[in-house]
Amino acid sequence: DQQVKQNSPSLSVQEGRISILNCDYTNSMFDYFLWYKKYPAEGPTFLISISSIKDKNEDGRFTVFLNKSAKHLSLHIVPSQPGDSAVYFCAASEYSGGGADGLTFGKGTHLIIQP
């Protein structure tokens, strides 16, 4: 049973436009959500997180939106740049401060930024 779902295996976006990556979850106990970015032959790198007490968190070009009632979160990248081409993993935990052992990852979405 997949508790964190990223239904788009890949997404192609033109440089300068907005990239929107989606993530759905089924476990209502999830309370803290993270996005990781992964380049080929490298390990995942933490990008941005959001707690369930918020519905939005912003860091530069990256914004994460959380809709708890829909059990849905999304990562917006604007404007998209060539260096944003990577695989993006959505991850969820039952609580912040619980350590990375409680993380459940999605399968990832491969974002391709076209010039």
Partner 1 sequence: EAGVAQSPRYKIIEKRQSVAFWCNPISGHATLYWYQQILGQGPKLLIQFQNNGVVDDSQLPKDRFSAERLKGVDSTLKIQPAKLEDSAVYLCASSKRVTDTEAFFGQGTRLTVV
- Site of interaction with partner 1 (CB under 8 A): 4, 32, 34, 36, 41-46, 49, 89, 91, 93, 96-108
Comparing C-alpha atoms, which of 97, 91, 65 is closest to residue 78? 65
C-alpha distances (whole Å) from 71 to each of 31, 42, 80, 111 are 11, 30, 25, 22
- Smallest gap from Cβ 43 to partner 1, in A, equals 3
Considering the complex, state which of residue 79 and residue 102 has its C-beta at the smaller distance from partner 1: 102
Task: Give the nearest distance from C-beta 31 to partner 1 in angstroms.
Answer: 10
Q: Which CB, 21 or 108, lies closer to partner 1?
A: 108
Question: For partner 1, which is the closer residue by CB, 6 or 80?
Answer: 6
Answer for the pair 103, 91: CB distance below 8 angstroms, yes or no.
yes
